[in-house]
Structure 1
Amino acid sequence: MLNNLPIKITSIFLAILLWLSLVTGEIQELSLYVPVELTNIPEGYVAVTDEHLINVHAKGPRNLISEEKFSDVNIEIDVSKMKPGYTNSIINVQDIKMPPGIKVVNIEPAAIEIIVDSLVLKEMKVAPTFIGEPALGYKVGLVNVFPENVQVKAASSKIVSQNTVETLPVNLSEKNESITYSIGLKPYEGIQEYIPNQVEVFVVFKEDIQQKTLEDIKVRPGVLADGLQAKIEDTIKLTVSGRVDLLEESMLQSELSPSVDLSTISTKGKYLRKVKLNESKLFEILNIEPEKVRVEVFDEKILRD
């Protein structure tokens, strides 16, 4: 048995070598989006392209493929020799900086359009943009931007018909008090620089006043002489204006408390009385219909019977 030991050891060693060769030699394919970087742009010019990411298919040994190795992969395209205007630039394998041992199989798209254009300075108006809704019952009342205009350094052909630039979104969520934001400007294709690169956006909020009509509002009878009881035979329709979040029937009933004054009535019968409403700082009364309601006054003992 000992005589076979060297042969067994050699067999095991060869098996390990074969396994390692299979593992390390196993080919894996991958697909990744690689950013485009335009380099060596001549002074006084700007180079832009609509294709910012290129889909690259590659392959290589499994042991060489990991996310970390591809984090810095990019495509560098030298534009120093391109003439002003549009150029259809073919992407070559050598333009793609891949880790050693990785082979590029396919590039999509295989060519991109690059615009080399003169760099110009143009003054543009700033338009603020917003996200989110103010606090319930409020809306934007006033917006000021300072400065109102900025200098834009950009490719001439990209901004020839553009006269405004937008800010990054200002968040208005749940706000109801004045705010001031120092905020940047939205990036646009072909724009290289803003001067200044930030603006101040000042926002003032105001109450969101709306009009509402509510029907079948009950009217409360006022105090009567002892022994008498009253029944209001009509409901009213109210048209009011107020803050939108307060225009609910329960709030209106509580705040305005529609009623009729019966203090001058001392005998039973049928009467027509004017509807009274409490003074309110929350609502403005636009219309009451009808202005007077029918009231029946009767002996309290009749109601008990």
Structure 2
Amino acid sequence: MLLNNIFLKILSVLLAISLWLIVATSDYDQIQFNVPVKLINVPDKKVAVTDESLINVTLNGPRLVLNSLSYNDVSVEVDVSNFSGYKTDYRIKPSDVKVPSSVNVVRIQPAEITVTIDKIIHKNIEVTPAFIGEPAEGFKVGSLQITPSEVEVTGAASTLNDIDYIETLPINLSGKSEKMSYSVGLKKSSGIKKIDPSQVEVTVIFSENMVKRKLSNIPVTVVKKNKDYIYKLLTNEVDVQIDVRSDIADSKDLKKRINIYVDVSQLAPGQYLRNIEYSSGENIKIIEITPGKARVEVTK
């Protein structure tokens, strides 16, 4: 047992020396990190807010160590327990930047921040959704329901007095066209300590995205002919104003989806001014036809 303990101690010393030699003989390099400022030791019933959300720090050290660093290994912590007054301009010290012992802080940008020690207040604030991505082609957001529509926010008075709404975390609409519901969190910015409730239910209902188009020279046809008569259209083309879903609005066959016609089933020989009738494909709504009537000549 004693020999085993001695062997383990010798092995530990050798490993430590090996690691030190690797670090000591490694090439040195520099790396930059953007890290948030953490304000610690805030007085009771107060909240601390800084005007800078991220600090850029340049670090120097063995390349082996720097390459293994993650954002969780670097932080900026400012002790505000001794700050007096409402606002304090504070110059960040290298010792405020928490890094591994073999790494040195070369530069801090910005080097100075303004810290506000403020009273805590409560405020009911309206919730607004934040979206990313676009719905499926031909669709848009039609209506929204947010439950609850307001939340109680606790935080710095200077922050909340300037806030009229609070956003949800991004909701992805990419390729969506069917009704969807999400339970989603809310963005918690600097100066906000608590949001109650911390999540809201957002229901999104999509509608067709209709756009206007004017089509010219649409041919007029005759339907329900009597085989004993001859029909001649004196008005054989019209212009059509339509609402059409955006994804088919510029399709080359759009005119083919619209049927303009005159019903001649009740006409005896003579000349007539008949109402123009129509039918159309899905996702097309006829708004106006010019002219609205067609002259028809019927002979035997």
TM-score of the superposed pair, with normalisation by structure 1: 0.73
Question: Any gaps of 5 or more consecutive residues in structure 1?
Answer: 1-20, 300-305
Q: 2:88 matched to which residue of 1?
A: 87
What are the residue-to-residue correspondences of 1:146-165 with 2, within 5 Å? 146-165=147-166
1:147 is displaced (CA, Å) by 0.9
Larger CA Rg, structure 1 vs 2: 1
Check conservation: 1:239, 1:288, Cα contact below 8 A: yes
Check conservation: 2:91, 2:111, Cα contact below 8 A: yes
Check conservation: 2:221, 2:236, Cα contact below 8 A: no
What are the residue-to-residue correspondences of 1:32-111 with 2, within 5 Å? 32-33=32-33, 35=35, 36-61=37-62, 65-68=66-69, 71-111=72-112
Please give the per-residue CA displacement for 1:64-92, whole angstroms capped at 9, x wherever unaligned: 54323885122221111112421122222
1:182 is displaced (CA, Å) by 0.9
1:145 is displaced (CA, Å) by 1.2
What are the residue-to-residue correspondences of 1:283-298 with 2, within 5 Å? 284-294=285-295
Check conservation: 1:143, 1:201, Cα contact below 8 A: yes
Matched, 1:225 2:206: no
Check conservation: 2:229, 2:298, Cα contact below 8 A: no
Moved more, 29-38 or 142-151: 29-38
Q: 2:188 matched to which residue of 1?
A: 187
CA distance in 2, matches of 1:164, 1:69: 34
CA distance in 2, matches of 1:256, 1:90: 75
Check conservation: 2:140, 2:208, Cα contact below 8 A: yes
Check conservation: 1:33, 1:53, Cα contact below 8 A: no
Please give the per-residue CA displacement for 1:222-262, whole angstroms capped at 9, x wherever unaligned: 43636957566631112344545565684564453424527
What are the residue-to-residue correspondences of 1:135-150 with 2, within 5 Å? 135-150=136-151
C-alpha spacing 1:128/1:250, structure 2 compared with 1 (3 Å): same
CA distance in 2, matches of 1:253, 1:101: 74
C-alpha spacing 1:125/1:243, structure 2 compared with 1 (3 Å): same
TM-score of the superposed pair, with normalisation by structure 2: 0.74
CA distance in 2, matches of 1:98, 1:208: 53
CA distance in 1, matches of 2:177, 2:70: 50
Check conservation: 1:129, 1:166, Cα contact below 8 A: yes
Moved more, 22-31 or 89-98: 22-31
1:281 is displaced (CA, Å) by 8.7
Q: 2:10 matched to which residue of 1?
A: none
User: What is the DSSP-based 3-state SS (H/G/I as helix, E as strand, rest coil) of the residue aligned with 1:193?
Assistant: strand
C-alpha spacing 1:64/1:128, structure 2 compared with 1 (3 Å): closer
User: What is the DSSP-based 3-state SS (H/G/I as helix, E as strand, rest coil) of the residue aligned with 2:39?
Assistant: strand
C-alpha spacing 1:169/1:57, structure 2 compared with 1 (3 Å): closer
What are the residue-to-residue correspondences of 1:209-288 with 2, within 5 Å? 209-222=210-223, 223=225, 225=227, 230=232, 234-241=236-243, 243-245=245-247, 250-251=253-254, 253-259=256-262, 261=264, 264=267, 271-278=271-278, 284-288=285-289
1:155 is displaced (CA, Å) by 0.9
| Residue identity matched to 2:98 | K
Moved more, 127-136 or 63-72: 63-72
1:221 is displaced (CA, Å) by 3.4
CA distance in 1, matches of 2:255, 2:296: 22
C-alpha spacing 1:276/1:58, structure 2 compared with 1 (3 Å): closer
Q: 1:207 matched to which residue of 2?
A: 208
User: What is the DSSP-based 3-state SS (H/G/I as helix, E as strand, rest coil) of the residue aligned with 1:140?
Assistant: strand
**Normalized per residue, which structure has more strand?**
2
CA distance in 1, matches of 2:121, 2:220: 72
CA distance in 1, matches of 2:34, 2:137: 45
C-alpha spacing 1:138/1:93, structure 2 compared with 1 (3 Å): closer
CA distance in 1, matches of 2:127, 2:70: 42
Please give the per-residue CA displacement for 1:191-231, whole angstroms capped at 9, x wherever unaligned: 12210000111222333445443221111234363695756
1:42 is displaced (CA, Å) by 1.8
1:294 is displaced (CA, Å) by 4.7
